[in-house]
């Protein structure tokens, strides 16, 4: 793929007129989970009175701002957003019948990120002229894009790792062939692996790693990473959770999910959502519908197809439920087809469980709020996250074994997982452990907590 870009780059003017001590530039990857985690980290760094710039395509800036939740929307005005020119690309629609659940339809947009090298380089050189030091924080999948940082004398870069440390260790172990991880494959496509390979030469430029994790949750794996990193100058900081509190739940906010939750008993509702990259077959949707109904547990189900490459264009797939389903569960269940405020839902006192694909962003949001997980991984790092949740942290239940990933999960299997999590003695123990872990994670982000001290250490390092 060519590294050139046919579109002239005109960076968004900044309000900086004098030399700033520190300017930070965030360069996120284009997947929704990565965009969101980068934005939350931007808010956190901005709270230290550091000028923060967020550089992505106009479509992805619009997307991440539209879907922002779990805080005050006025925070968006504190970030300088830069709309980078990205070449047009043709992207197929999500294919629910694909042999792999990996969102291969997004690959053209993933590949298009390689064209951002020159626009990003131009932006970095412009901003470096107005700062004593320019700090670039980039997604690991954008290492190629930020390579010009090595040519800017007052700039340095740090990789932001949006996956669990456990999954990172497992994947590296799998690649090296040193041991057998709990899941013996990294479930992505060859095209995606080629994109990953394009980053490898430029990873060494970074001065350190920022992990969206917490030492009190993944200390053993952080130690393992440090042990296997031969570069003594490569520092690491674990700073999760990025969000320590959400705005006070207020049913007058107007969201139908929150209004419905206000009417439900405490800890009685299981929230069902599979993120932004999952497409389910009609057969699987039907099995999930019957499984939820037969469990006789209250639920909110976000029924959406995977994101298109550009979420603002084209029609969405019409996802069909069994005839009469919504009417038959109207007293105990709610089906939502729009984007929802996930953090506010998970924080609500009526929610007692989360059926999830185990994307790391969703895992951290759920565990940080003390909500246990019914783990149903689909692709990429998700199977490793599921192992971490169910077998190591023991704050969740397995919906189905990863070895059966190509099969439709039956309604009785779904029913059993929901019942165990929400209405059993085993589930009660799991919920108690999840609540305890939630308290640990929230305390970690408070003054004097381990993650707050890690973040303070990072800020002290870049402002040295």
| Domain match, 275 and 239 both | no
Kindly state whether residues 31 and 146 are assigned to the same domain.
yes
Strand partners, 150: none
Same domain, 230 and 262: no
Describe the crossing of helices 360-368 and 32-46 by its angle, rounded to 10 degrees. 50
- C-alpha to C-alpha distance for 148 and 397, rounded to whole angstroms: 45
Whether residue 209 is contained in a domain is answered as: yes
What is the tally of helices (H) and strands (E) in the chain? 16, 13
Task: Assess if residue 81 is contained within a domain.
Answer: yes
Torsions phi, psi for 397 (to 5 deg): -120, 155
Same domain, 68 and 181: yes
Residue 9 lies in a domain: no
- Is residue 221 domain-shared with residue 366, that is, in the same domain? no
Residue 215 CA to residue 222 CA, distance in Å, equals: 7
State the residue range of the domain holding 370.
251-442
Question: Is residue 234 within 8 Å of residue 203, measured between CB atoms?
Answer: no
What is the reported pTM? 0.92
Strand blocks (E) in 249-350? 269-273, 298-302, 333-336
* Spatial contact of 395 and 437, defined as CB atoms under 8 Å apart: yes
pLDDT tens, N- to C-terminus, the chain (464 residues) = 434 443 334 444 444 445 679 999 999 999 999 999 999 999 999 999 999 999 999 999 999 999 987 667 788 999 999 999 999 888 899 999 998 899 999 999 999 999 999 999 999 999 999 999 999 999 999 999 999 999 999 999 999 999 999 999 998 888 777 766 787 777 899 999 999 999 999 998 999 999 999 999 999 999 998 887 766 567 999 999 987 554 444 544 568 999 999 999 999 999 999 999 999 999 999 999 999 999 999 999 999 999 999 999 888 888 999 999 999 999 999 999 999 999 999 999 999 999 999 999 999 999 999 999 999 999 999 999 999 999 999 999 999 888 777 789 999 999 999 999 999 999 999 999 999 999 999 999 999 999 999 999 999 999 98
The catalytic residue positions are: 34, 139
3-state secondary structure of 309: coil
Structural domain tally of the chain? 2
> At 69, is the secondary structure helix, strand, or coil?
coil
Tokens representing residue 440 in the block: 């640990």
Give the whole-angstrom CA distance, residue 355 versus residue 345.
Answer: 13
What values do phi and psi take at 181, rounded to 5?
Answer: -70, 170
Distance of alpha carbon 13 from alpha carbon 11, whole angstroms: 6
Cis peptide before 283 (omega within 30 of 0): no
Residue 2 lies in a domain: no
| Any domain includes 14 | no
Token pair listed for 463: 């402002």
Residues 6+ apart with CB under 8 A from 31: 106, 110, 276, 277
């Amino acid at each position: 793929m060519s590294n050139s870009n046919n579109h002239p780059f005109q960076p968004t003017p900044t309000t900086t007129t004098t030399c700033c001590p520190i300017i930070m530039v965030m360069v996120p990857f284009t997947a929704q989970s990565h965009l969101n985690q980068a934005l939350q980290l931007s808010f956190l760094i901005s709270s230290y009175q550091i000028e923060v710039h967020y550089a992505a395509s106009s479509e992805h800036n619009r997307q991440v701002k539209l879907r922002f939740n779990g805080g005050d929307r006025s925070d968006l005005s504190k970030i300088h957003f830069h709309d980078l020119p990205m070449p047009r690309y043709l992207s197929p629609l999500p294919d629910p019948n694909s042999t792999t659940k990996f969102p291969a339809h997004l690959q053209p947009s993933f590949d298009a990120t390689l064209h951002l090298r020159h626009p990003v380089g131009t932006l970095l050189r412009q901003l470096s002229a107005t700062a004593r030091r320019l700090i670039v924080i980039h997604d690991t999948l954008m290492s190629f894009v930020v390579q010009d940082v090595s040519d800017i004398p007052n700039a340095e870069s740090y990789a932001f790792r949006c996956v669990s440390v456990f999954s990172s260790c497992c994947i590296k172990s799998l690649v090296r062939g040193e041991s057998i991880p709990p899941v013996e494959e990294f479930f992505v496509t060859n095209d995606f692996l080629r994109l990953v390979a394009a980053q490898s030469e430029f990873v060494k430029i970074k001065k350190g790693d920022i992990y969206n994790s917490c030492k009190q949750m993944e200390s053993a794996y952080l130690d393992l990473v440090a042990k296997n990193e031969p570069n003594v100058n490569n520092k690491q900081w674990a700073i999760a959770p990025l969000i320590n509190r959400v705005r006070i739940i207020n049913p007058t906010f107007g969201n139908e999910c929150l209004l419905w939750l206000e009417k439900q008993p405490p800890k009685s509702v299981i929230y069902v959502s599979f993120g932004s990259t999952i497409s389910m077959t009609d057969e699987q949707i039907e099995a999930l519908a019957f499984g939820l109904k037969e469990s006789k547990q209250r639920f909110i189900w976000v029924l959406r197809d995977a994101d298109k490459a550009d979420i603002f264009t084209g029609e969405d797939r019409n996802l069909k439920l069994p005839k009469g389903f919504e009417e038959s569960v109207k007293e105990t269940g709610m089906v939502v087809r729009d984007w929802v405020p996930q953090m506010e839902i998970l924080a609500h006192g009526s929610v007692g469980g989360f059926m999830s694909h185990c994307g790391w962003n969703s895992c951290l949001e759920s565990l940080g709020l003390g909500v246990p997980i019914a783990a149903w991984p689909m692709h990429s790092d998700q199977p490793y996250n599921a192992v971490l949740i169910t077998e190591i942290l023991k704050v969740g239940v397995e919906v189905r074994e990863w070895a059966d990933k190509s099969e439709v999960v039956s309604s009785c299997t779904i029913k059993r997982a929901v019942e165990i999590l929400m209405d059993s003695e085993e589930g009660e123990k799991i919920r108690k452990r999840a609540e305890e872990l939630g308290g640990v994670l929230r305390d970690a982000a408070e003054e004097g907590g381990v993650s707050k001290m890690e973040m303070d250490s990072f800020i002290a390092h870049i402002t040295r």
